[in-house]
Amino acid sequence: MTIGEKLQSKRKELDLTQGEVAEKLYVSRQAVSNWELGKNYPDLETIVAISELYQISLDILLKEDQHVVKGVKKTMNRKFLGMAFYLVTLLSMGICVLVNVLLDRTLTWSLIVVLSLATADALVYFFAKRNRWHPYLLMGGGSLLLLTFLGLLDVTLQQSDYIQGSFFVGIALPVSLLWLVLIWSVVLIQKRMKWSLYYSFSLFFLLGIVGGFLTNLFVHSEPLWFSTLTSTIPCVILSALFYVLGSYFDKIRG
């Protein structure tokens, strides 16, 4: 019996739903479902929490299931790589700040590097939590992270005298909100319709025609007709391509 089968059997024995287990373990219901189906495996800390919740020893839980042992090792390796990434970025920040101060006697370009690396760290952290957090929470956090990054970048560039005026309120904020609305709309429609991801990509590129036109208006592209045309043609082609792919795979599955 695999660990997924053991988890499912024990959960049903305790008369718990996947949602209740997810709530007690602070993970998403989808993560619990994936464990039981054997699509992926919980990390070592979560396995300990599961053994306590289900009142089953780790020896019994992991016995005769080499796949989960390999999965745990893989998860631990990812954690090690994640910590190494954080350490490297932290050292890079320190080196950039030190060099900037020694050469210029002030902080200028190093602030941009620090901001970019900190954002990269946050993105890696969000990615690491993809199985623990609700998808909407991840998307919401990613959206706020993007807006925060652009706002801080605007302030940093102005203070470093790289730009004379703010670009955040007039350009970056409305353009970012526009595309975030389009992305969220596609995600919500995907959730509602439960169709293939190919159709969602097709819809996104179709909406991208409107997004591209409005973006060109915000950034005052000249000439407007040429910028709109060059952004519309790729969107039409990609939208049609993903629609055809979706129809093709639907026929195969049907």
Output the pLDDT for position 67. Answer: 61
Distance of alpha carbon 11 from alpha carbon 15, whole angstroms: 6
Distance of alpha carbon 133 from alpha carbon 38, whole angstroms: 19
Percentages helix, strand, coil for the chain (3-state, rounded to 5) are 80, 0, 20
Query: Which residue shows structure tokens 């293939």?
Result: 196
What does pTM read for this prediction?
0.63
Neighbours of 74 (CB within 10 A): 13
Name which of 69-78, 158-167, 214-223 the model is least confident about: 69-78
**Cβ–Cβ < 8 Å for 153, 107:** no
What's the half-sphere exposure (Cβ side, CA atoms, 13 Å) at 6? 20
* Helix or strand (DSSP H, E) at 25: helix 18-25
Query: Which residue shows structure tokens 């954002």?
Result: 119
User: Does the pLDDT of residue 199 top 80, yes or no?
Assistant: yes
pLDDT range class, residue 125, cuts 50, 70, 90 = confident
User: Does the pLDDT of residue 64 top 60, yes or no?
Assistant: no
Closest CA to 181 of 154, 160, 210: 210
Domain limits, the chain: 3-64, 66-131
CB within 8 A of 76, min separation 6: which ones? 43, 44
Q: Which residue has the higher pLDDT, 70 or 64?
A: 70
Distance of alpha carbon 226 from alpha carbon 231, whole angstroms: 9
Distance of alpha carbon 6 from alpha carbon 99, whole angstroms: 55
- What own/partner pairs with CB < 8 Å and gap ≥ 24 does 148-154 have? 149/115, 149/119, 150/176, 152/115, 153/112, 153/115
**Cβ–Cβ < 8 Å for 242, 205:** yes
Structure-token pair, residue 175? 């353009």
End-to-end CA distance of the chain: 32
**Cβ–Cβ < 8 Å for 234, 204:** no
- Residue range 79-105: mean pLDDT, rounded: 88
CATH superfamily of 3-64: lambda repressor-like DNA-binding domains (1.10.260.40)
User: Does the pLDDT of residue 25 top 90, yes or no?
Assistant: no
Sign of torsion over alpha carbons 44, 45, 49, 55: positive
pLDDT range class, residue 126, cuts 50, 70, 90 = confident
